[in-house]
Amino acid sequence: MTTADLCNLLYQYIMKSTLKKIGILTSGGDSPGMNAAIRAVVRTAIYYGIDVYAIRRGYQGMIEGDIHKMETTDVANIIGRGGTILKTARSKEFMTKEGMQKAYNQLQQHGIEALVLIGGDGTFRGAVEFFESFTIPAVGLPGTIDKDLSGTDSTIGFDTAVNTAVEAIDKIRDTAEAHDRLFVVEVMGRDAGYIAINSGISCGAEDILIPEQERNMDEILDRIDHDERRKKTVHILVVAEGEELGGAKEVYDRVKERFPMLDTRTCVLGHIQRGGSPSFADRVLASRLGYASVLALMENKTQVMLGIINGEIAYTPFTNVIKQNAPMSKDMLDMIRVLSV
C-alpha cells in the first residue's frame, strides 16, 4: 500500500468520525440534470462512509418526515433522466417558525447532520433562515433552467433548456417559411433573458426581447415594416416571459394592431423547457457539483452554493447568491441586429 493510499484511508476515517449522515433534497422548479446531481451526491457520500437520506418534496417533505435512507442502487440509471426522483415542492409552511421547528425535529429524529440542497434563489434563502435558527450546515447546488444566479457560469438545466427551445424554434421556422408567417415565440425566463438570447441567436431570430434590455415597441414594429417592404416574409420574434413589454400575447396584440394583414401566430413553449433528458453539459456539471458538495461538507465548507467559474469549483455564500439581472453583452445585442438583416 502506497503512502497516498494510507493518507486517503486516514482521511476517510477522520471524516467518517465527524460526519455520518446527510440529507438531500430538490426544491423549487425542476430542471434537467437534477437526477445526475442526486446520483453524484449519493455515490460520493457512500464512498466516504456517509449515510444519505432522501428528503422527498423539498422543504415540505422535510416538515412531514418524508425521509428515507438511500443506497447506491437507488440512483442507478438516473443520470439521463429529466425531472427529479426526489420530487419537488414549494413550501410556504417552511417559511414560518413553526414549520422550521417541525423540519428540524424530523432531521433530529433521523440523525441528519447536514444538507445538500438542489434548487434556486428561494431554496438558498430558506437555508439561510433555517441555519440562523437551528445551525444546520448546508451546501447548495444551482438547479434552475434560467441561469439567473450569481456565483456560477452556468446552472444545472440551463444548457438542456436552451437546446429544447432551439429545437422547438427551428421547427416553428419550418412552418413559418411554408406559410410566410410571423411567429412570436415565448420562452421561459421571468427575471432573466438567458434562454431567450441564446436560443434566439442560435435560431436566427429576427428580434429578441429580454427583461435586461428596455425596448421600444414602435422600433420593433418599424423593423418588421422594413422587412416586409423588402419582401422578407418570415419573422421569428423570441420573447422572454418576463420581458418588459409583457410576453408573447402582448407583443402579438401590438403586431396585429399595426399589421392586420400579416399571418401572425404565437407559441408559448412553457414547461416543455423543464423536461427531457439532460444534455451532456448538464450531466457533467451536475456530476461535478454533486461530487464537490460532499467534499465541501467534509471540509466544513457550509452555507455556500457551489458553482463553476472559469472551469473551477467556486463557493459563494448563500447570502451573496442572488437572482442576477446583469446587462447582457452589448456585443451579443448588436450582433442580433446585424445577423437578422
Instruction: Answer whether 54's CB lies under 8 Å from 86's CB.
Output: yes
Q: Looking at 30, 121, 146, 227, which residue is catalytic?
A: 146
Q: Alpha-carbon torsion 236, 240, 245, 250, what sign?
A: positive
> Closest by alpha carbon to 115, among 181, 60, 178, 62?
62
Q: Which residues of 288-326 are buried (b: 16+ CB within 10 A; e: fewer)?
A: bbbbbbbbbbbeeebbbbbbbeeeebebbebeebeebee
331 counts as catalytic: no
Residues 6+ apart with CB under 8 A from 56: 25, 66, 67, 68, 86, 87
Q: Tell me phi and psi for residue 228, to 5 degrees.
A: -65, -40
Q: Which helix (H) or strand (E) holds 268?
A: strand 264-268
Instruction: Answer whether 245's CB lies under 8 Å from 209's CB.
Output: yes
Distance CA 45, CA 35 (A): 15
Q: Which residues of 208-238 are buried (b: 16+ CB within 10 A; e: fewer)?
A: bbbbbbeeebeebbebbeebeeeeeebbbbb
Q: Which amino acids are annotated catalytic?
A: 146
